[in-house]
Amino acid sequence: MKWLKDLIRIIYNLYAFAIFIVLTFFFFPFVMLSLLFGKVTGGNIIYQICKLWAGIWYFFIGIQHKEIYEHPHDNAKQYIYVANHISYIDIPPILLIIRNPMRILGKYETVKIPVFGWIYKAAVILVDRRDASTRAKSVRALKAAINNNISIFIYPEGTFNETAAPLKSFFDGAFRIAIETQTPIKPLILVDTLERLHYNSIFSLTPGKSRVVYLEEIDVAGLTLQDISVLKEKVFNIMDAGLRRYREYPSI
């Protein structure tokens, strides 16, 4: 009975969207009040609010967040986190892993969404990849966060991976900043977000598991800008192999 399954899916998606809207309006004043505490402290508060928001939303829509540690992870250490990007729901699992201050690099277009866009603008470091001046500004903001002992998070693919491969090619940004600031890289893989919400439709949301896998830390001590391509390839290969351990892909 395909029509019944389609009806249930539509009802579930409308329910999940309604819960998201309610939580957006509920947390909005708390986010705005957090701005009064300044850029650093206020930003840290906003991320804790957003983490709570993500956890509550997951609870009500039946998504189970799980963290898998393939290698030891120091929650107190400062990192440049990187992860694969394949779904509109890639942000909540990143918020839920936060144990110490973090800032996420996010695309500028999202600020256009009413109300949510204001929260997004207050929380993330914005980048418009089409504009060289805003790219440079975002890099300065990311480095400023690191100088304030704040970890940063970047999707090195930049946009959704819509290929049949585990990953598409990486931009240099995360690896350049890692070398310039001598900050270790912590690769993560998001295993289930494509099943939870496919990039083809915002109405394809489904309940179920959402795993975040912590891979091995990549030290950048002593590396120079001449090593960017080698570092990028190393992280790419680690993440590619990690995704292949958890998901099925065509043979290399």
Higher pLDDT among residues 128 and 79, named by residue: 79
> Has residue 243 got a pLDDT over 90?
yes
Contact by Cβ (8 Å): 183, 78? yes
Instruction: Say if 203 falls within a structural domain.
Output: yes
The rounded distance, in Å, linking the Cα atoms of 24 and 119 is: 8
For the chain, the domain total comes to 1
CATH number of the domain at 52, please: 3.40.1130
Instruction: Say if 251 falls within a structural domain.
Output: no
Higher pLDDT among residues 252 and 50, named by residue: 50
Q: pTM score, two decimals?
A: 0.93
Instruction: Say if 90 falls within a structural domain.
Output: yes
Instruction: Say if 162 falls within a structural domain.
Output: yes
What pLDDT is attached to residue 146?
95
What pLDDT is attached to residue 134?
72
The rounded distance, in Å, linking the Cα atoms of 115 and 100 is: 26
Nearest CA among 210, 213, 241, 175 for reference residue 70 = 213
Average pLDDT, the chain: 93
Main-chain phi, psi angles of 97, to 5 degrees: -90, -5
Specify burial of residue 184 (Cβ count, 10 A radius: 0-12, 13-18, 19+).
middle
What pLDDT is attached to residue 132?
67
Instruction: Say if 252 falls within a structural domain.
Output: no
Digit-coded pLDDT (tens) for 47-59: 999 999 999 999 9
Bridge partners, residue 190, by sequence? 212
> Has residue 129 got a pLDDT over 80?
no
Higher pLDDT among residues 80 and 125, named by residue: 80
The rounded distance, in Å, linking the Cα atoms of 251 and 246 is: 14
The percentage of the chain sitting over the pLDDT mark of 90, rounded to a whole number, equals: 77
* Contacts within 8 Å (CB) and 24+ apart, 243-246: 243/84, 243/166, 243/167, 243/189, 243/191, 244/166, 246/189, 246/191, 246/211, 246/213
Tokens at 92, concatenated = 């909540």
Q: Tell me the Ramachandran region of residue 38: left when phi exceeds 0, alpha when psi lies from -120 to 50, beta otherwise.
A: left
Any idea which residue has 């930049």 for tokens? Answer: 158
223 band by pLDDT with thresholds 50, 70 and 90: very high
Q: With helix as H, strand as E and coil as C, how does 90-123 read? A: CHHHHHHCCCCCEEEEEEHHHHHCCCHHHHHHHH
Range of the domain at 22: 2-246
The rounded distance, in Å, linking the Cα atoms of 191 and 189 is: 6
What pLDDT is attached to residue 120?
86
Instruction: Say if 189 falls within a structural domain.
Output: yes
Q: For the chain, how many residues are written?
A: 252
Neighbours of 89 (CB within 10 A): 24
Instruction: Say if 161 falls within a structural domain.
Output: yes
